[in-house]
Structure 1
Amino acid sequence: MRSDRHIKKKHRRRLWSVGLIMLFLLIGALSLYSYFQYQAGLKDSQEESGQPKVEYTFNGDRDKNGHTNILLLGSDARGEENSRADTIMIASYNPGKGTYKLASIMRDTYVSIPGHGENKINTALAFGGPDLLRQTIKENFDVDLQYYGIVDFQGFVRLIDTAFPHGVEVDVEKSMSKNIGVKLEPGIQKLDGEHLLGYVRFRQDAVGDFGRVERQQKVMKELGKQLASVQTLPKLPKLIGVVTPFVNTNMDTGDILYMARGFISEEGRSVQTLRIPVENSFQNQRISGVGAVLAIDVETNRQALNEFLVK
């Protein structure tokens, strides 16, 4: 009897050992796959980007509520250090609730910029890089930002074309062509990266930048829906490799993979959005030496942004 028990225990130990070996082999194979896919995407984009990355200091702080807040900036500066931000967004991830939120700050929002007086918020990037823009958002809206990411528009095009080789379905609401480099006609259609970029950058109509921000959020939500699927997971390392040469960020690849995997692992996950300034909290004004601005009620917008990120 004792001998039988000994044999069974030895057999169980052997099964555990085999199982652990198989698990390690699987993890190793997945790691190798991810590495080679990342390198493949990186190689595809490195030659095309061809721009040296400016090194920025960013003294970001972790959000007091435990969220991960990222300052996302869109730029077509092509390596120029003193360029204004074309697109300003705050991407917020709540690890406790598993929620993802996106707040757009309109670039003509008139705010106090530390050390530079009052000006359009997008000028903060030109005055002092992403850290001054971080300080500006903290001073005016009391939101802490831990990371930043400046995305070259060409990186957006490459990401779309790699993730969605057949295009992204969008309902284009009107004819668009002025100052976007492409021509778009109304109707539901699948857009490649270049045409989708034109769609989100168009602002030559009666609603101007308001329509542009609305389209940006519409597309980001749609991309979120289409990316959030199990089928996208195997593509993730390559997608990150593809955009890496076009993104200037203080986030490491591991952080990006962690948050991206968390997002796309659940089908149907939604992205909540907000626009700053919120409705009925601003006036259109013209400031001498600055131009047309959105003069905002700072307290109303500070409260709206904080409530949106926390709830």
Structure 2
Amino acid sequence: MEEQDYSRRSQRPQKRRLRKGRALFTLLLLLVIVIAGYSVMQYRSGLKLASDTKVAQEAFKGDTVNGDVENYLLLGIDTRGEEKSRTDTMMVLSWNKKTNDMKLVSLMRDIYAEIPGYKSYKLNTAYYLDGVQLLKDTITNMFGLPIHHYAIIDFKNFESLVDILAPNGVEIDVDKDMSENIGVSLKQGVHNLNGQELLGFARFRHDAEGDFGRVARQQKVIEALKNEVLSPQNMMNLPKFVGAAQGYITTDYSSAEEVQQVLKMVSKGKVSIEKATVPIEGSYNFQSFRGVGDSIVMDVEKNKEFLRKFLGIPLE
């Protein structure tokens, strides 16, 4: 009899543990459902917000991906309601999907380039003449650099995306007072910049550094935005940000592929970005051409060799 009572008593703690386990599992399940529901709602909110602002998608044939590295042609344009525009920002982002390392190469817009099917112009004219495919072909022909995908964002859409991702602003060390032709006034020092201010900072070029200084600031902005995407305090903003990106950013990816790529990058945690500018120092000079204006004439082979070493990939 005593033995039987002992057996019943020994089962009670186990039942309590089971009940606590079920309660904890139920709470976790509810939490997952709430987070998933919130994420879906925010994602759809972002989609709706950007539904009428997409830059028209273009026919594009990228190079075949070989290995773990993919190269993305990133373009910033200022449409201002015009049918055609030149590219104000041209970058190639090289992403090693195995290591999650990224290398960012800024291409100066005034590079004097042979444009297939046309005479030589400044590099940023290629997009104006015949869109992203012609610009891609111009870059590939010049450097032998494979380009697998592209992404284009209009500057007004950039401002909106920044404000969605970081409602409290993006921290930037403004290197000098600046206001000329950027639509905002910025004071030297560390500030949290909203979308319009951050764009103004990235576009400023009215100083002794000119376009080279602007390219350096653009790279600084990319680094800051990368940190905002990976910041835990902005995780709740990511679903809306990803949704809005579907409309604000034009790319050859499908919507599902875009989301997959962003999540893949974020899920791997820390991302390092090495940055460079082409042409490299000591490899160019300025010349003026009739009908083109002041241009950057560079030693193509010297810059091609630099890209081969910097990106760590074979070039044609």
Aligned to 1:182, the other structure's residue is in SS state: coil
Tell me if 1:256 matches 2:258.
Answer: yes
Question: Which stretches in structure 1 are left out of the alignment for 5+ residues?
Answer: 1-17
Instruction: Name the structure 2 match of 1:113.
Output: 115
Paired positions, count = 289
Aligned to 1:256, the other structure's residue is in SS state: helix
Instruction: Name the structure 2 match of 1:216.
Output: 218
Letter in 2 for 1:36: M
Instruction: Name the structure 2 match of 1:37.
Output: 42
Question: What's the offset of the Cα at 1:79?
Answer: 5.2
C-alpha separation in 2, matches of 1:237 and 1:37? 6
Question: What's the offset of the Cα at 1:190?
Answer: 1.0
> Is contact 1:161–1:193 with CA below 8 Å preserved after alignment?
yes
Question: What's the offset of the Cα at 1:26?
Answer: 9.1
> Is contact 2:57–2:252 with CA below 8 Å preserved after alignment?
no
Instruction: Name the structure 1 match of 2:205.
Output: 203
Sequence identity percentage: 41
Question: What's the offset of the Cα at 1:209?
Answer: 0.3
More deviation, 222-231/106-115: 222-231
C-alpha separation in 1, matches of 2:104 and 2:255? 21
Instruction: Name the structure 2 match of 1:5.
Output: none
Instruction: Name the structure 1 match of 2:287.
Output: 285
Question: What's the offset of the Cα at 1:307?
Answer: 2.2
C-alpha separation in 2, matches of 1:81 and 1:125? 12
Question: What's the offset of the Cα at 1:88?
Answer: 0.3
C-alpha separation in 2, matches of 1:27 and 1:299? 54
Instruction: Report 1:1-311 matches (<5 A).
Output: 33-46=38-51, 50-51=52-53, 53-78=55-80, 80-310=82-312
The TM-score, its normalising length taken from structure 2, stands at 0.83
Letter in 1 for 2:211: D
More deviation, 255-264/83-92: 255-264
Question: What's the offset of the Cα at 1:203?
Answer: 0.5
Q: Deviations over 1:74-104 (max 9, x none)?
A: 0111453421101001112111222122111
> Is contact 2:283–2:303 with CA below 8 Å preserved after alignment?
yes
Question: What's the offset of the Cα at 1:143?
Answer: 1.2
Letter in 1 for 2:134: L
> Is contact 2:284–2:299 with CA below 8 Å preserved after alignment?
yes
Change (3 A) 1:183 1:140: same
Letter in 1 for 2:176: K
> Is contact 1:92–1:102 with CA below 8 Å preserved after alignment?
yes
C-alpha separation in 2, matches of 1:189 and 1:26? 36
Question: What's the offset of the Cα at 1:230?
Answer: 4.1
C-alpha separation in 1, matches of 2:309 and 2:260? 26
Q: CA RMSD in A?
A: 2.5
Change (3 A) 1:30 1:61: farther
Which has the greater radius of gyration?
A: 2
The TM-score, its normalising length taken from structure 1, stands at 0.84
